[in-house]
Amino acid sequence: MSDRKEFRELVPPERAHEAISGLDLAPESEIVSLGAARGRVLAERADAGVDVPGFDRASVDGYAVRARDTFGADEANPETLDHVGRVHAGTTPEVSVEEGVTAEISTGAVLPEGADAVVMVERTTESEPEGGDGTKIEIRKAAAPGDGVMAAGTDIAAGERALGPGTELTPREIGLLSALGVEDVPVRGRPTVGVISTGDELVRPGEAVEHSAGQIYDVNSYTIAAAIEDAGGDPELYPHAGDDYEEMERILRNAASECDLVLSSGSTSASAVDVIYRVIEDRGDLLLHGVAVKPGKPMLVGTLAESAYVGLPGYPVSALTIFRTFVAPAIRQAANRPEPRTATIEGRMAVRERYAEGRLRLMPVGLVESGPGEEIDGVEGDSSDGSNDGGKGGTTGRGTETLVYPVDKGSGATTSLVEADGVVAVDPDTEYLGAGEGVRAELFSPSVRIPTLLGIGEDDPLFSRVLDESERPRYLSFGSREGLRRLRNGVPDVAVVAGPSDPDFPVEELGGWSREWGLVVPSGNPEEVAGIADLIDRDLSFINRPTSSGLRTSLGERVAELAEKREATRHDCTDRIRGFDRTLGAHESPPRAVAAGQADAGLGLRATAAKLDLGFVPVGREGVRVLANPDRVEKSGVEALASSLEGVSPLLDGLPGYGERGAEPTAPDQ
């Protein structure tokens, strides 16, 4: 009677995929040092704990000035200022800039006290007047406040969402975390995969091989180990297992006790000497033996102890084919690694981009998918069969196109790299790229994937929580006004808008909430600030939000209402608020400045004040709305966001001042 055991059933490939995807390969999250974080996947959201840069710094070589001292200056009528010293990068300024004086400053240096702009050195002339009256600097171009200056928090502001959970940490993200001073990083664990090659004939490379005895070098151990690393796992090589049942059982069970997944190659066919399936059957759970695929028919899937198990064929080509087809996707899923893709992509410009500087431009760009049949400045989307159009535009199936938009916050901004997916090389002779024009983007790496959702708008702590529920979103907190502008231009999928707004173009509202805003003050409110009127009537220092912020718009309306009650103009009132035009980026920025003793009050949210243990003077409530491009509402990422917004109530916990939609603003203070 034969000992030969036939295959139980040759299952279709779909069954094999289902069996392997049902195995639990995902390990626990862990903490790693920043130096060891490259290639890992962020386990939780990373918010900025500091402003980057942490001080107002010069963005050009030149002269630090008070902008008002340069008003009216041009080539024909320069303004002459006294030279009072120099400020070098990495040093504390030892000079201050008062009326009629200027200080030489290097790129990256701290802006000295009193200065609010930097004039490029090319627009100046140094002279030594007769009579020994000191060095004079002629300023041949007028400067506005902020010219030549990168303000604190411009790159990224403390409290702002920096990176979301599930972000793969490439050198770009490592650079951002470095800029934030992060030392230890919470990352998702990588599955440990044990690799066992079976067969008495195998010899490890480097050892002597006896061809006459039928010995061969072990190809599979190193080949599969390299493929495991490529898929995002950590391979662990175990000794060869022969065709002896007891030895096979010992090695397999040892590997199963130490690994999330055990892979063996060879000894999986139905002959009498191939015994792995018997070990799995006796000591574990054999889910399937044999797949209707060539090469790779004799595949095993099962469990052993607490570990998942997959048996690969012995022939190297078959083993690698089966691994890449069935096992690698499961490892990538457990490690949260993206599917591999090409390093370039064809797409269409989402917006018109001007360029006429006569130099090759490597333009950082982001990618977003259009909606089916969406028109881009009169250019129809590709047909629903997903066919390509000869290189003039990339398709992503189901009638969608890959849209390319410029990402550029300045050469000193680390976040430009994180927000971009690749680079489009713009020819020196190109004056502009038109909306709908076909371009080719070189991706930063083959693993880059188009975000499932692109949002632009208000920096809001509740929406950050909503984003945590989304898969692979990208959100640019440029403010409500900029979110609406770009939504009108067809770039993002959604815009988050706070405060008074009434779009004059078609939008689809997905959801929203209300939040309480007011004045954030030091704990205990030592100045006894009662409301906006105190900022106008008393000599209190204040820090505002940028004009693009919806919170700033709400404040502006309250000041206007208060001015009307006083029979004054809004401008009269804002002029009397010391620091009304002093702005900081994210929603936590003004409160953090208050906490640092830089101001008596700052514009902010009750939730932020509570988080930072600061005082809060309520002024009103404002609505926050999530508005979608009507042509994108059927995108999977937008649909998932809409679903999250329907269940937003639990996310309100721990955010004082937040509530359901419809709360009316309180009356303005007198």
How far is Cα 59 from Cα 221, in angstroms, rounded to an integer? 53
How far is Cα 280 from Cα 278, in angstroms, rounded to an integer? 5
Give exposure, 575-586, as e/b (b: 16+ Cβ within 10 Å).
eebbbbebbbbb
Is 376 a residue whose pLDDT tops 70?
A: no
Query: Which domain covers residue 584, as residue numbers?
Result: 453-670
384 and 407 both lie in a single domain: yes
**Interval 424-435 mean pLDDT:** 86
272 and 141 both lie in a single domain: no
The H-assigned helical ranges of 379-531 are 415-419, 461-468, 480-488
421 and 300 both lie in a single domain: no
Q: Is residue 95 part of a domain?
A: yes
Q: Is residue 2 part of a domain?
A: no
Is 410 a residue whose pLDDT tops 60?
A: no
**Interval 422-439 mean pLDDT:** 87
96 and 74 both lie in a single domain: yes
Final residue belonging to a domain, choices 435, 450, 465: 450
Q: Which residues pair with 628 in a beta bridge?
A: 494, 508
Final residue belonging to a domain, choices 278, 313, 335: 335
Q: Which residues pair with 288 in a beta bridge?
A: 301
Q: Which residue has the higher pLDDT, 276 or 491?
A: 491
581 and 622 both lie in a single domain: yes
353 and 331 both lie in a single domain: no
CATH number for the domain that contains residue 526: 3.40.190.290
Q: Is residue 211 part of a domain?
A: yes
Contact residues for 44 (Cβ-Cβ < 8 A; gap 6+): 29, 165, 186
Q: Is residue 548 part of a domain?
A: yes
How far is Cα 631 from Cα 628, in angstroms, rounded to an integer? 8
| pLDDT value of position 384 | 34
- pTM for this model (two decimals): 0.71
200 and 287 both lie in a single domain: yes
**Interval 372-386 mean pLDDT:** 52
Q: What is the pLDDT of residues 187-235, one digit of tens each?
A: 999 999 999 888 767 777 777 878 777 777 777 788 899 999 988 899 9
Q: Is residue 217 part of a domain?
A: yes
Helices (H) and strands (E) in the chain, counts: 16, 36
| pLDDT value of position 358 | 66
Q: What are phi and psi of 508, to 5 degrees?
A: -120, 120
632 and 575 both lie in a single domain: yes
| pLDDT value of position 114 | 95
* CB contact at 8 A, 349 and 440: no
Final residue belonging to a domain, choices 396, 430, 450: 450
Q: At what angle do helices 461-468 and 636-646 cross, to 10 degrees?
A: 120
Portion of the chain with pLDDT greater than 70, in percent: 88
Q: Which residues pair with 361 in a beta bridge?
A: 426
522 and 497 both lie in a single domain: yes
542 and 585 both lie in a single domain: yes
Domain count for the chain, please give it: 5
412 and 512 both lie in a single domain: no
CATH number for the domain that contains residue 125: 2.170.190.11
Pick from 630, 594, 597: which is nearest to 614 by CA? 594
Q: Which residues pair with 247 in a beta bridge?
A: none
652 and 522 both lie in a single domain: yes
Q: Is residue 1 part of a domain?
A: no
Is 413 a residue whose pLDDT tops 60?
A: no
**Interval 542-559 mean pLDDT:** 94
CATH number for the domain that contains residue 41: 3.90.105.10
| pLDDT value of position 431 | 87
| Distance set, CA 559 to CA 68, 534, 556, 568, 604 (Å) | 26, 12, 5, 10, 15
Averaged pLDDT of the chain: 86
**Interval 467-478 mean pLDDT:** 92
In terms of DSSP bridges, do strands 261-265 and 192-197 run parallel, antiparallel, or are they unpaired?
Answer: parallel
CATH number for the domain that contains residue 366: 2.40.340.10
What single-letter DSSP state applies at residue 378?
A: T
Q: Is residue 603 part of a domain?
A: yes
Q: Is residue 7 part of a domain?
A: no
Q: Which of 130-134, 154-158, 386-390 shows the lowest mean pLDDT across its residues?
A: 386-390
